């Protein structure tokens, strides 16, 4: 937000290309120098490039003239804000009250209890310690290192004691990247997933801990993860945000529609619960992660492709995404536990994420939508990303066979 002592204009440098969307956004290229004239919100600033004025996403620029040693540069991980939020109960209540999520982890421990006997485990980002406590109560590991960077760790120690688990669970307060353990671990368990799987990029901490602390042949939980996508109809969301302006109180407010589109459809809609009947096709996994082989550098840009066959006629408004993760079994012949956050499973606190296209298109059974998705990690704000979608709608109708292309990039930040 605009702070009173800021003097405009401020020079900033673009950190990546931005194509802009609609007439109010300013397109720019990586390295461009822009002048910011106002900061009407923390996300969108009003800026100028070569005499053209428009909104720019604040996450795509950094202060002009700043050097790497400049201590006034904000922390690109925004750790203070991030860990502060996990120091309060709001998020922990939301996660613990999410039964499908929490029960999935409990099920993993129960179904692997024989194999966990005498194992050394790390619970990375233990929060209130729930997973570590499940391990201590439902299996017999020799030790669980419960690592937590936020101040919640102080309470977690109390909870471990209160539940008589202090002989097995050792709470270590600190960032996983910085803590020291007496030795390597057999199992690394963590609940690191964010919106669209990767948002907030806690997964990076998990990969670094894996490379440092997991024994050769050790187990990763989750063991694999996938991002799933489906083309969808979103009639009521579209009406709520766009049709509204057609005739409120008998007046024509349509000049506000392009602003509405920009305001409501530029970012993805988090916490969206898609009705399964709004899926226009069978969902498909577009990005798959193997938690044993994934590298931190792979996270910079993740690519996926899709080809959907429309199986019910309707209006294509965009895509909905969610994720699922698998916990491979340590038991001989055991089956993996899966946590699926999609519309065909019990809703979780992640819900789903809706990406609205700018123009609804009628589609018919037999049409196909093919294209690609790219998750670009923000080069500066390391917990953020931009999701780019490109698609072609191929009509199957004999008399009007046609192809309509679409492309849109969605910045994702809090």
**Which residues form the catalytic set?**
191, 200
Choice from 95, 169, 171, 286 touching ligand SAH (CB under 6 A): 95
Alpha carbon distance 356, 410 (integer Å): 9
Residue 130 or 280: which CB sits closer to ligand SAH? 130
- Distant-in-sequence, close-in-space partners of 5: CB < 8 Å, separation ≥ 6: none
Number of residues that bind ligand SAH (CB under 6 A): 21
By CB under 6 A, name the one of 112, 150, 156, 395 that touches ligand SAH: 150
Q: Which stretch binds ligand SAH (CB under 6 A): 66-74, 119-127, 303-311, 396-404?
A: 119-127
Q: Which is nearer to ligand SAH, 7 or 180 (CB)?
A: 180
Is residue 83 a contact residue for ligand SAH (CB under 6 A)? yes
Check residue 122 for interaction with ligand SAH (CB under 6 A).
no
Using CB under 6 A as the binding rule, whether residue 414 contacts ligand SAH is answered as no
The C-alpha angle with vertex 184 and arms to 79 and 92, in degrees rounded to 5, equals 35
Burial zone of 382 (CB within 10 Å; 0-12 exposed, 13-18 middle, 19+ buried)? middle
Residue 121 · residue 185 · CB < 8 Å: yes
Contacting residue, 130, 144, 207, 369, with ligand SAH by CB under 6 A: 130
Buried b (16+ CB within 10 A) or exposed e, 254-264: eeeeeebbbee
Enclosing H/E stretch for 392: strand 385-394
Q: Should residue 341 be labelled a site residue for ligand SAH when binding is judged by CB under 6 A?
A: no
- 383 vs 196: CA distance, rounded Å: 12
- CB-based contacts of 353, cutoff 8 Å, min separation 6: 195, 196, 268, 269, 270, 272, 320, 321, 322
* From 21-29, 145-153, 301-309, 336-344, span contacting ligand SAH (CB under 6 A): 145-153
**Residue 191 near ligand SAH by CB under 6 A:** yes
Looking at beta carbons only, is 58 or 209 nearer to ligand SAH? Answer: 209
Q: Is the dihedral of CA 272, 275, 281, 287 positive or negative?
A: positive
Among 195, 205, 228, 394, binds ligand SAH (CB under 6 A): 205
Residues that bind ligand SAH (CB under 6 A): 83, 86, 95-96, 125-128, 130-131, 147-150, 152, 175-177, 191, 202, 205
């Amino acid at each position: 937000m605009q702070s009173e002592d800021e003097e405009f204009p401020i020079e900033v440098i673009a950190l990546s290309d931005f194509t802009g969307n609609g007439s109010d956004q300013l397109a720019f290229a990586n390295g461009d120098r822009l002048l910011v004239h106002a900061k009407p919100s923390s996300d969108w600033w009003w800026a100028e490039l070569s005499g053209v004025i428009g909104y720019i996403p604040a996450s795509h620029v950094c202060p002009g003239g700043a050097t790497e040693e400049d201590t006034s540069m904000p922390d690109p991980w925004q750790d203070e804000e991030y860990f502060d939020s996990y120091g309060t109960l709001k998020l922990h209540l939301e996660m613990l009250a999410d039964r499908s999520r929490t029960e999935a982890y409990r099920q993993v421990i129960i179904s692997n209890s024989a194999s966990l006997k005498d194992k050394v485990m790390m619970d990375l980002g233990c929060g209130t310690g729930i997973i570590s406590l499940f391990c201590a109560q439902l299996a017999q590991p020799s030790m669980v290192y419960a690592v937590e960077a936020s101040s919640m760790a102080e309470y977690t120690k109390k909870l471990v004691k209160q539940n008589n688990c202090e002989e097995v669970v050792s709470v270590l307060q600190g960032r996983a990247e910085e803590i020291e353990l007496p030795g390597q671990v057999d199992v690394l368990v963590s609940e690191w997933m964010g919106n669209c799987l990767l948002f907030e990029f806690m997964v990076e901490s998990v990969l670094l801990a894996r490379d440092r602390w997991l024994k050769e042949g050790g187990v990763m939980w989750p063991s694999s993860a996938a991002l799933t996508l489906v083309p969808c109809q979103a009639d009521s969301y579209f009406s709520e945000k766009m049709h509204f302006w057609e005739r409120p109180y008998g007046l024509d407010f349509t000049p506000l529609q392009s602003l509405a589109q920009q305001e409501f459809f530029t970012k993805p809609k988090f916490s969206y619960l898609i009705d399964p009947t709004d899926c226009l096709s069978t969902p498909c996994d577009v990005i798959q992660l193997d938690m044993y082989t994934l590298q931190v550098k792979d996270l910079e840009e993740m690519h996926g492709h899709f080809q959907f066959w429309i199986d019910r006629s309707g209006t294509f408004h965009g895509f909905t995404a969610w994720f699922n993760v698998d916990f491979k079994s340590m038991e001989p012949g055991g089956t993996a536990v899966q946590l699926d956050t999609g519309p065909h499973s019990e809703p979780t606190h992640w819900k789903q994420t809706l990406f609205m296209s700018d123009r609804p298109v009628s589609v018919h059974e037999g049409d196909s939508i093919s294209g690609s998705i790219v998750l670009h990690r923000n080069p500066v704000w390391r917990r953020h990303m931009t999701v780019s979608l490109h698609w072609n709608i191929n009509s199957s109708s004999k008399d009007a066979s046609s192809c309509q292309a679409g492309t849109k990039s969605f910045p994702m930040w809090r």
